[in-house]
Every structure is written in C-alpha cells, then in structure tokens.
Amino acid sequence: MPDTDEKPQDNETVRAVKRARARAEAAAAAEEKKPINWKAAAGIGIGSAAILGALIYASRQRNKDK
C-alpha cells in the first residue's frame, strides 16, 4: 500500500493547470485595481523633466570669455 503522505510529482498537465489558475487569479486581481489618474501622472512626468533640465543646466560649464 503506498504512503498517502507523499505528494505526487508535478507533471506537465498539473503545471499547466497551476499556470492557468495563476493567470486567472492575476486577471481577476487586475480588474479590481483603481484607474490611473492621468493628470497626476502627467504632472509627475513634467515635473521630473523640469528638475532634470534644471540640474543639467546648472551643472554645465560656462564659458567666461563672453
């Protein structure tokens, strides 16, 4: 009589079923997310670009001959 405590090894079919369940759960979780606030995202992007531009401008070497 075989031991019932041991789990059978995963075969190709079992792994495919597990992947399908994981994908279904991920899709269900993705549907529950809040929509993106595009105005805030655009503001963050523009602000980051402005800061980067200011840092590049401030760090450049100036020609004192002018």
55 — pLDDT class (breaks 50, 70, 90): very high
pLDDT of residue 3: 58
39 — pLDDT class (breaks 50, 70, 90): very high
pLDDT of residue 12: 85
Decide which of 3 and 51 is more confident.
51
d(CA 36, CA 62): 42
Enter the tokens of residue 50: 């402005």
pLDDT at 54 over 80: yes
pLDDT of residue 4: 62
Of 13, 11, 9, the C-alpha closest to 21 is: 13
**Torsion angle in degrees (nearest 10) through CA of 13, 18, 20, 23:** -160
**Domain segments of the chain as ranges:** 12-59
